[in-house]
């Protein structure tokens, strides 16, 4: 039997697992859906999402599998995390590395195994999505591709979970004075300083490519000066609070929303596709238009907003912060001066500069 090797970047890998707080047995419904789907797609006995901790493998999500952990040194997944492609064992009984493995010579043996590494957003393999059976199996190229795609979905779920946790952790770690300086008091959203801080700390460190696709929306309330002039600043404040609540309820908890001007908001949406970015923006526009605000004056006030949107992905390499915002801002300008109450979407980043992604304007 060949024991599972230790990856060359084990220290960094374990550090990533610690920061993610994933080496637990807490239920993760999103991950459970992936393992259940994997079991159905490949028609195998069991599927798991496994975290390779120091001396054990933790079965973070399980489909038709009762164990919660086992020794790492005898694990199949310990071999799989050293690979960049799916690690496939068609019949472990005929493989010198596993034929006398305790997981093979037992009452409920693992005969077939296929595992694809899943990654922390910095690129460290933290575990696997794996499927296994008690009889020999073959994997077609289509099967290989499907397993890789499902593992990528696990990567995205873990990243979104981490981004959500990161915002909460940042708030918890700040003392009251600093926290107040990073939160917009009217809406409870991040302000410009808070937006920069959460981006720099967790999602898009300076000088690094984005770890996943990001949608960037700059939203501006149409004719807001007219609202203030006609109804007064108190009603104007109610309008801002209402729009902020709409953004918070229509976007996900892990999405980053900031109020960066009087009537201007920035939304950073991780893990979104290029095609979905303008659709989400248009949905927000439609909701605002079709949801009159009942003001404290007892009147119904109809509003519209304009949105400039862009999208970036890891494939673009290192993209600097200022031009990304400038691209979305230019799109917003076009939306404003072509009639308002609309979305303009542009992915042609205006230029690259050496300051780092999404740098403060």
74-119 pLDDT, tens digit per residue, is 999 999 999 999 999 999 999 999 999 999 999 899 999 999 999 8
* Highest mean pLDDT pick, 94-108, 193-207, 307-321: 94-108
Q: Residue 26 forms beta bridges with which residues?
A: none
Paired tokens of 94 = 């005929």
Q: Where are the beta strands (DSSP E) in the chain?
A: 46-52, 56-63, 69-71, 87-89, 112-119, 125-133, 214-221, 256-259, 264-270, 293-294, 300-301, 305-312, 343-345
| Two tokens, residue 66 | 């009762």
Mean pLDDT of 196-225: 80
Q: Is the pLDDT of residue 206 over 90?
A: no
Here the tokens at position 295 are: 């003001």
Contact 128, 77 (CB under 8 A): yes
What per-residue confidence (pLDDT) applies to 158?
80
Per residue in 44-83, pLDDT (tens digit) is: 999 999 999 988 999 999 999 999 999 999 999 999 999 9
Which tens digit of pLDDT belongs to each residue from 166-193? 666 666 666 665 667 888 989 989 999 8
- The sign one gets for the Cα dihedral 168, 173, 179, 181 is negative
What lies within 8 Å, CB to CB, of 175 at 6+ separation is none
Residue given tokens 């999404």 in the structure block: 358
Task: Report the chain's mean pLDDT, rounded to a whole number.
Answer: 87
Contact 357, 318 (CB under 8 A): yes
Paired sense of beta strands 305-312 and 343-345, if any: parallel
Give the contacts of 12 (CB within 8 A, at least 6 positions apart): 122, 124
Contacts of 148-153 spanning 24+ positions with Cβ under 8 A: 148/85, 148/86, 148/116, 150/34, 150/37, 150/38, 150/41, 150/116, 151/116, 151/117, 151/118, 153/34
Per-residue confidence band for 355, with pLDDT thresholds at 50, 70 and 90: very low
Answer for the pair 96, 86: CB distance below 8 angstroms, yes or no. no
pLDDT over 70 (residue 42): yes
Rounded distance, CA 188 to CA 245, Å? Answer: 10
Distance CA 266, CA 104 (A): 54
User: Average pLDDT of 150-176?
Assistant: 73
Domains of the chain, first to last: 10-165 (3.30.450.40), 174-345 (3.30.70.270)
pLDDT at 212: 78
State both tokens at 153: 């979905």
Separation between Cα atoms, residue 111 and residue 104, nearest integer Å: 6
Q: Are 328 and 216 in contact (CB under 8 A)?
A: yes
- Residues 6+ positions from 179 with CB-CB distance below 8 Å: 171
Q: Which residues are designated catalytic?
A: 263
Please calculate the CA angle 182-20-200 and round it to the nearest 5 degrees.
Answer: 35
Does the pLDDT of residue 286 top 70, yes or no? Answer: yes
pLDDT at 359: 44
Between the CA of residue 112 and those of 238, 269, 276, 330, what are the distances in Å?
61, 39, 38, 54
Across the beta sheet with 343-345, what order do the strands follow? 256-259, 264-270, 214-221, 305-312, 343-345
pLDDT given at position 168: 63
Percent of the chain with pLDDT over 90: 58
* Nearest residue to 305 via CA among 350, 232, 242: 242
Q: What is the pLDDT of residue 353?
A: 40
Q: Which of 153-157, 195-199, 206-210 has the highest mean pLDDT?
A: 153-157
- 81 within 8 A of 54, measured Cβ to Cβ: no
Per-residue pLDDT at 80: 95
Extract the tokens encoding 207. Answer: 């000088």
Distances (CA, A) of 222 to 122, 228, 230, 299: 39, 12, 14, 19
Give yes or no for residue 203 having a pLDDT over 70: no
CB neighbour list of residue 64: distance below 8 Å, 6 or more residues apart: 39, 45, 46, 47
pLDDT band at 254 (very low <50, low <70, confident <90, very high): confident
Distance CA(346)–CA(217), nearest Å, equals 11
What pLDDT, on a 0 to 100 scale, did the predictor assign at position 357?
Answer: 42
């Amino acid at each position: 039997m060949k024991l599972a090797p230790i990856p060359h970047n084990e220290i960094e890998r374990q550090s990533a697992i610690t920061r993610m707080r994933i080496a637990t047995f807490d239920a993760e419904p999103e991950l459970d859906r992936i393992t259940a789907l994997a079991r159905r797609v490949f028609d195998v006995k069991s599927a798991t999402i496994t975290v390779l901790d120091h001396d054990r493998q933790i079965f973070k999500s399980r489909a038709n599998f009762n164990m919660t952990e086992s020794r790492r040194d005898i694990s199949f997944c310990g071999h799989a995390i050293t690979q960049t492609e799916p690690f496939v064992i068609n019949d472990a009984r005929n493989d010198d590395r596993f034929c006398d493995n305790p997981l093979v010579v037992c009452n409920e043996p693992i005969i077939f195994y296929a595992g694809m590494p899943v990654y922390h957003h910095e690129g460290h393999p933290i575990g696997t999505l794996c499927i296994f059976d008690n009889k020999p199996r073959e994997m077609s190229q289509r099967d290989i591709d499907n397993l890789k795609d499902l593992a990528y979905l696990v990567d995205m779920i873990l990243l979104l979970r981490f981004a959500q946790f990161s915002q909460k952790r940042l708030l918890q770690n700040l003392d009251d004075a600093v926290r107040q300086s990073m939160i917009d008091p009217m809406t409870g959203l991040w302000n410009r300083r808070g937006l920069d801080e959460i981006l720099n700390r967790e999602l898009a460190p300076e000088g690094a490519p984005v770890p996943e696709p990001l949608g960037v929306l700059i939203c501006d309330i149409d004719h807001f000066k007219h609202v203030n002039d006609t109804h007064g600043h108190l009603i104007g404040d109610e309008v801002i609070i209402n729009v902020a609540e709409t953004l918070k309820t229509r976007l996900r908890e892990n999405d980053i929303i900031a109020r960066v001007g009087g009537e201007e908001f920035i939304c950073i949406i991780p893990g979104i596709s290029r095609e979905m970015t303008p659709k989400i923006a248009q949905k927000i526009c439609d909701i605002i238009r079709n949801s009159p605000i009942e003001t404290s004056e007892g009147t119904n006030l109809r509003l519209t907003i304009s949105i400039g949107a862009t999208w970036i992905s890891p494939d673009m390499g290192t993209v600097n912060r200022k031009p990304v915002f400038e691209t979305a801002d230019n799109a917003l300008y076009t939306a404003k001066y072509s009639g308002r109450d609309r979305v303009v979407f542009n992915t042609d980043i205006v230029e690259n500069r050496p300051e780092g992604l999404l740098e403060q304007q």
